[in-house]
Amino acid sequence: MSRVQVPPAAMVPAPLSARCPPCGRDTALSYPSRTMGRMTSTPRSDLDPAVAARLKRGADGLLPAIAQQYDTGEVLMLGWMDDEALHRTLTTGRCTYWSRSRGEYWVKGDTSGHYQFVKSVALDCDADTVLVKVDQVGAACHTGDRTCFDADELPVSAPADMA
């Protein structure tokens, strides 16, 4: 019976600079995986290609979308849109998001009745954020609050000389 076996891996010379000294992992393999469940290639959508070409999507293919009450200026909520959600928002009159938790499109109000009727849609200066001005029916927040920002105000202090 052999008593001591040298692990075969130890006999393989390490490539010049591809090994992480602490853990021995091949650093070429240490990049984070690209996605968690959402595609990164150009999504299939009927969105106007001229608009789609301008969008600066995140690695998950999504853009943050801020909903604002069109007449009072209230900031109502933040959701996420892919190309198709933006397309539906632009063409159906009702704000449509991509639900990251449920992995599906979500027409705001379909279950709650708290629709967001679209008044205007704008991209920000570098096309990585969407602003949707809406007429919000009832509460924008699923908690029943008018906006998602009503319930958790944080204390703010500033140096006296800024007053």
Please state, in angstroms and rounded to a whole number, the distance separating the CA atoms of residues 149 and 114: 17
According to CB under 5 A, which residues from 124 to 153 bind Zn ion?
141, 148
Please give the distance of CA 125 from its chain centroid, rounded to a whole number: 18
Q: What residues are paired with 130 via a beta bridge?
A: 65, 123
**Which ranges in 27-102 belong to alpha helices (H)?**
49-52, 83-92
Nearest approach, Cβ of residue 49 and Zn ion (Å): 33
Q: Which of 107/141 has CB closer to Zn ion?
A: 141
Nearest approach, Cβ of residue 143 and Zn ion (Å): 6
The residue count for binding Zn ion (CB under 5 A) is 2
What are phi and psi for residue 21, nearest 5 degrees? Answer: -55, -45
Q: Is residue 66 a contact residue for Zn ion (CB under 5 A)?
A: no
Nearest approach, Cβ of residue 62 and Zn ion (Å): 18
Binding site for Zn ion (CB under 5 A): 141, 148
